[in-house]
Amino acid sequence: MKLPIAILLFACVLFMEKPLLTAQVPCGGRSLPQEQVVLHLDRNVCLAGETLWFKAWCFLDGELKRAMSQVLYVEIFDESGKAIVRQKHLLKHNSAAGSIYIPEDVPGKYYFLKAYTRYMRNFSSGQFHYQQLVIANPYIENARISAEEQAVSGQAAPRSSAGEVRYDAGHPIRISLAQEPFLPRQPVTFSISSPEQLTASLSATVRLKGLGNHPAPQVMRRNAWLQASCARDPYCQSNAFPGAYGEVANEAWAPKPLSPEGEGLEWLPETRGLTISGFIQNDREERAAGVPLTAAVLQQEPMVHMGITDETGAFTLSLQAMQQQKEVFVGTPEANHRVFIRNDFDTNLPPISAVPLRFDSSLHQLLSGLNLHQQLTRAYPAPTTAPVFQPEPIGMPSTNILGPDRRIVLADYIEVPTMAEVFNEITTGVTLRKSGGATRLSVFNPEDQEWVDHPLVLLDNVPVYDIEALLEIDPALVETVEIFHSDYIIGDFTVEAIVAITTQTDDFAGYQWSEQVAFTAFKAYAVPQPFEQVVDTEKSHYPDFRPVLYWKPDLQLRPGQPEERITVIAPDRPGVYEVVVQGFTPSGEPCLGYAAFEVVQER
């Protein structure tokens, strides 16, 4: 019987003593749960300014039946370690589907994609998911790109032709497709099914042959950390590890149980979604335990989260679901303390050996076709399309604090020279008091007939702790003062009253922040783009050179379910196109289906 993951992790953290985690038995003879990410792309060759689509699965102890992490991290970096893309995606039912826009200003060369969860950062980064990408930029000269032919060693994997993709393990997916050549703009219909009673989560892509996960042999040899992920992908494996070498690679790079690198769980799993973490130091530059802190999102509505540092002075706060990039505040009411916010993304890169991107004839032909398609899409109107992949909207609460009990608009009153007079003369039920030489606000609760001496004070929805500095604000810059009498439970804390001040400025009306607070640009969930399938080109006289005809990341197979029928429109570009269906069963067994068809010029 398997214990629930939350209980197992709690027991591990509670009972581990230093030195921690010897061998694989850190808590009562039980290994820590292991996560593993596998990601499939619609293609691995593209131009700057294009969009890639992906489907990711997150396994827990090799299975998809149980879930732990809810945030997937995806990065693309070059041989210098510089990241050109950093994204977070919501993991729902152990999977995520999204898109990656490649910036227009990146130079053409080999790039590397990695995917992982926050919890996986406790272990070896060699267990992250990696893929090689080819990104070309026809508008930027790059001396590292060469058009010379390159000799390939005996271990090089030739590009497979139709039907040559092998199954070393897992379940075959049947793709029924007519074998005769198709003419441009002719419908191509195929069906997807399983020869056995199978439940599986799959992705399906139809693309020009040669755009898939075919790692360059010289890149694979000089960057061996790419081989583990490739050996776990039947499609990549059959191209990169031909013959017996594939079996050796599978055995050598099979995932193994791991223990955290160091003395404990430094990165807690994000079981509730987005988190922000860091630590707090006192004036002696020692990490401070038991220190309260507050995080707030800079937005129109108040969004506040509260917590406390652990025995090591570290904190991890769960945040609400958000999209794109947000400015986030973290601060502590303790004077002479400093807040340090940790980088969300992994900074431990494997040793990267640079390999110049060399154009052989086939790659040159592929990239020429991509460039032609990119120019056509910019010059001509878009064809008639229908969405195949439509991202699910993320439920994003705008606030966790409801409307105020009282709202005072300062413009409704005569002008007063200081904020002290605002609180003492205008905001009835809010007054200034002094204790031990410090100034504080007090709020009267009419229901309990009591004064609350330490309300949460917000300035443009950001907590402030220095009331003396708050009093220096010019009242002419203040729009409203809102008073909250109701109790709010935020994390493990109860806030008995709130005073929220809204200014008419974008700089907090000149409020001077101390070192006990920090602001950061926080990456929230990326906004995936839908994939649009062309459904009608018969009457269009505009050329059609699409490299990717179809992408569906949420294909599901279940016993007794009728076969999935898909129709795509053949493009104008002649060549071989491949249908690749990949995925996994709930128990983590891989599934793969492959077929190919040819588009020929009309005779």
pLDDT digits (tens, 9 = 90+) for 323-339: 999 999 999 999 999 99
Count of Cβ atoms closer than 10 Å to residue 368 Cβ:
13
- Please tell me the distance from the alpha carbon of residue 133 to that of residue 113, in angstroms, as a whole number: 7
Amino acid identity for residue 389 in this structure: F
Do 113 and 130 contact (CB within 8 A), yes or no? Answer: yes
Residues of the chain with pLDDT under 50: 1-3, 6-8, 10-25, 28-29, 143, 148-164, 244-255
Instruction: State residue 259's pLDDT score.
Output: 61
Do 304 and 330 contact (CB within 8 A), yes or no? Answer: no
Instruction: State residue 193's pLDDT score.
Output: 94
Question: In this structure, what token pair is assigned to residue 213?
Answer: 């996960």
- Please tell me the distance from the alpha carbon of residue 57 to that of residue 93, in angstroms, as a whole number: 9
Q: What percent of the chain has pLDDT over 90?
A: 66
What's the farthest any 2 CA atoms get from each other in the chain? 94
| Residue 120: partners with Cβ closer than 8 Å, 6 or more residues away | 35, 36, 37, 127, 128
| CA distances from residue 314 to 88, 123, 320, 347, 516 in whole angstroms, order as listed | 22, 19, 20, 19, 15
Helix and strand totals (H; E) in the chain: 8, 37
Instruction: State residue 232's pLDDT score.
Output: 82
For tokens 């919501």, what's the residue?
Answer: 90
CA dihedral 349→355→358→363, nearest 10 degrees, is: -40
The phi-psi region of residue 170 (left if phi > 0; otherwise alpha if psi is between -120 and 50; otherwise beta) is left
Q: Where are the beta strands (DSSP E) in 102-213?
A: 109-116, 129-136, 145-146, 171-172, 174-177, 187-193, 200-208
Do 216 and 354 contact (CB within 8 A), yes or no? Answer: no
- Please tell me the distance from the alpha carbon of residue 556 to that of residue 173, in angstroms, as a whole number: 12
Instruction: State residue 452's pLDDT score.
Output: 92
Tell me the pairing of strands 45-47 and 129-136: parallel
Question: In this structure, what token pair is assigned to residue 19?
Answer: 């030195």
Do 557 and 194 contact (CB within 8 A), yes or no? Answer: yes
Helix (H, G, I), strand (E, B) or coil at 101: strand
- Please tell me the distance from the alpha carbon of residue 298 to that of residue 513, in angstroms, as a whole number: 15
- Please tell me the distance from the alpha carbon of residue 156 to that of residue 509, in angstroms, as a whole number: 64
Cis preceding-peptide flag for 269 (omega within 30 of 0): no
Count of Cβ atoms closer than 10 Å to residue 552 Cβ:
22
Do 226 and 215 contact (CB within 8 A), yes or no? Answer: yes
Do 327 and 297 contact (CB within 8 A), yes or no? Answer: yes
Instruction: State residue 538's pLDDT score.
Output: 74
- Please tell me the distance from the alpha carbon of residue 432 to that of residue 299, in angstroms, as a whole number: 27
Q: Report pLDDT digits (tens) over 503-540.
A: 999 999 999 999 999 999 999 999 999 999 998 877 77
Instruction: State residue 69's pLDDT score.
Output: 97
* Torsions phi, psi for 244 (to 5 deg): -65, -25
- Please tell me the distance from the alpha carbon of residue 546 to that of residue 376, in angstroms, as a whole number: 10
Do 531 and 204 contact (CB within 8 A), yes or no? Answer: no
Count of Cβ atoms closer than 10 Å to residue 191 Cβ:
13
